[in-house]
């Protein structure tokens, strides 16, 4: 029996798919390390238990799969009917039995993987629309999923760290986060420097700015609002100061 492979031959897209699949496997490992009782535990996200995160990751796979189906068929299939529907779905999913919750994650991940695998080469360029209303090519769904599984594996608060996330994922996360700040104008007077990479983001045109710096993983953790360990801040007077809270990302 001949094994089935991704229809796309684009090397960059295939590498991106591999990163998403590795992130899914990493999330699965951290989830499977938890007992059923531990699913009730708190996470790095206020108000969300591990049940909420697991439900979110499961339903997110289904939502992204709908976008891939849209690209394949040309029939508009939104991620969700509304943000209210999405939130209700997550809250409902958090009430499922442990075995149902685990099956939701497993089955939805397989479904998304099959949709990606079977998407024809030319359909990856077809435009779809995210829950935020952005029109993006279907190839963007790979990054959308990559970001979710890697970050939320850390949010499970089960030993995963931002240092476990691959460098290319961390770099793109930081670019996305600081790009959102710039779009909203919330990075005024703030400069972000990565000390173990030649990366600088933020208000580079400011005559004086508060400079937040640290290793890539620590800076992304801070920028994503998950903590400030490993980062330092210097105010415009060139004196150390308390690390400020990062501007809102999403």
Among 150, 142, 232, smallest CA distance to 195 is for 232
Task: Give me the pLDDT at residue 108, please.
Answer: 98
**Token pair for 39:** 């699913």
CA 154 vs CA 144, 149, 219, 246: distances in Å: 16, 9, 15, 18
Task: Give me the pLDDT at residue 1, please.
Answer: 40
Could you say which residues of the chain have pLDDT below 50?
1-3
User: Whole-model pTM?
Assistant: 0.93
Task: Give me the pLDDT at residue 206, please.
Answer: 74
- DSSP sequence for 161-176: -GGGS-HHHHHHHHHH
CA–CA dist 33, 48 (Å, integer): 19
Q: Are strands 240-241 and 190-194 parallel, antiparallel or unpaired?
A: unpaired
Give the number of other Cβ atoms within 10 Å of residue 244's Cβ: 14
CA–CA dist 174, 217 (Å, integer): 9
| 146-160: b (≥16 Cβ within 10 Å) or e | bbbbbbbbbbbbbeb
**106 within 8 A of 117, measured Cβ to Cβ:** no
CA–CA dist 160, 163 (Å, integer): 8
The domains located in the chain, with CATH, are 11-160 (1.20.120.450), 169-241 (3.30.1050.20)
CA 178 vs CA 109, 222, 237: distances in Å: 29, 12, 23
Mean pLDDT of all residues belonging to the chain: 93
CA–CA dist 169, 177 (Å, integer): 12
- Residue 169 sits at the vertex; the CA angle it makes with 73 and 103, to the nearest 5 degrees, is 55
Task: Give me the pLDDT at residue 59, please.
Answer: 97
CA–CA dist 170, 152 (Å, integer): 13
CA–CA dist 217, 224 (Å, integer): 11
Task: Give me the pLDDT at residue 2, please.
Answer: 44
CA–CA dist 31, 58 (Å, integer): 12
CA–CA dist 176, 164 (Å, integer): 19
Which pLDDT tens digit goes with each residue over 24-47? 999 999 999 999 999 999 999 999
CA–CA dist 15, 143 (Å, integer): 11
């Amino acid at each position: 029996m001949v094994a089935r492979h991704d229809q796309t031959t684009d090397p960059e897209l295939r590498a991106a798919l591999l990163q998403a699949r590795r992130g899914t496997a990493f999330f699965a490992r951290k989830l499977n390390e938890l007992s059923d009782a531990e699913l009730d535990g708190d996470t790095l996200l206020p108000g969300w238990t591990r049940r909420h995160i697991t439900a979110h990751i499961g339903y997110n796979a289904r939502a992204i799969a709908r976008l891939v189906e849209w690209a394949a068929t040309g029939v508009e299939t939104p991620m969700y009917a509304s943000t209210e529907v999405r939130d209700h779905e997550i809250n409902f999913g958090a009430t499922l039995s442990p075995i149902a919750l685990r099956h939701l994650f497993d089955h939805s991940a397989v479904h998304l993987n099959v949709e990606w695998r079977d998407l024809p080469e030319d359909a990856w360029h077809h435009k779809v629309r995210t829950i935020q209303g952005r029109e993006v090519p279907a190839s963007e769904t790979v990054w959308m999923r990559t970001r979710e599984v890697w970050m939320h594996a850390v949010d499970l608060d089960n030993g995963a760290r931002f240092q476990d996330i691959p460098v290319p994922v961390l770099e793109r996360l930081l670019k996305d986060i600081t790009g959102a700040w710039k779009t909203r104008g919330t990075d005024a007077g703030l400069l972000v420097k990565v000390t173990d990479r030649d990366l600088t983001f933020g208000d580079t045109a400011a005559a004086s700015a508060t400079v937040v710096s640290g290793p890539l993983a620590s800076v992304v953790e801070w920028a994503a609002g998950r903590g400030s360990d490993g980062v330092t801040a210097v105010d415009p007077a060139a004196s150390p100061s308390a690390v400020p809270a990062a501007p809102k990302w999403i």
